[in-house]
Structure 1
Amino acid sequence: MQLARYSSLTHLWRVIAGAQQAGRDVTLVRGDTPETARRKISGYTLPNAGLFIDTAPILRELEDGFEVHPALIALLGGDPAPLRSELDAHHELQLDFTVALTAGRDFICRPDFKFVPIVKGLSNLPPQLKLRARRFSRDEINMLLLRSCGLA
């Protein structure tokens, strides 16, 4: 996803330095050399992020193989609130970003967002259930990236 057109290399290094200062893990993407203008930033999580769950894939998955859980039964009935409450209580949204500067000087980002348990085994949601975050807009991703790097 393109976050800025004709950006500077300084902006990329400012984001990376901000991430390191904020305590995030900044690593090379596998196969890249240190001179490559691409890095993966991980280690930022959002608690109470149940609002961001994408329920459509869960509903499709439940149609194929029904799972018994009060929050999932409520979701099948059209009420996502119990699932969101369960996620708020026992999961957090892990946000990983791969940022780069293209040859055309576009600042790009590939987000990887997923719900992870705060404490494994505490939630009684089926472990095989894929919990995906909804799609975020370019502005939302840019703001989340800047927040994770301590720049916003």
Structure 2
Amino acid sequence: MMKGLYCLQNAIKWYEDRFCVRFTPTVIYALYPKEEEYGWPQPWPNPDSAGIYIFLDSNKTIVYIGKASQMGARLDHYFGYGENGKCILKDKRVDDISYVQCYSCSQEEPYACLSLEEYLISEMNPKYNKTGRTEW
């Protein structure tokens, strides 16, 4: 069963309390922004921070969870500029990503991203993740 942002927030809160670490959420970044949405071509949220990133479909259902030592560089692997400056997906195996949300960790605790990613994958069961490996 795919779960939404409310379940994600609760899972991260549980993890933070259990392991005494903190993650800072960013705004939800729209790859194809509608009026009043923060997104493309704005800068990536917390581009120099380590953390986890969440890909969401157009219904804001979680479809992928990943980790990064530098959020901006990692997200640049997935997305680029197309015609008229519009966002394009560089990986053609996925076509249903519309939003990205990031959670950054403190500079002193980048190791927490590794275990948080695995925990969230097991809890959230995103479409493109399998525990221990990625489907796409």
Q: TM-score range by the shorter chain?
A: under 0.3
TM-score after normalising by structure 2? 0.28
- Report the structure, 1 or 2, having the larger helix content: 1
Structure whose alpha-carbon radius of gyration is higher: 1
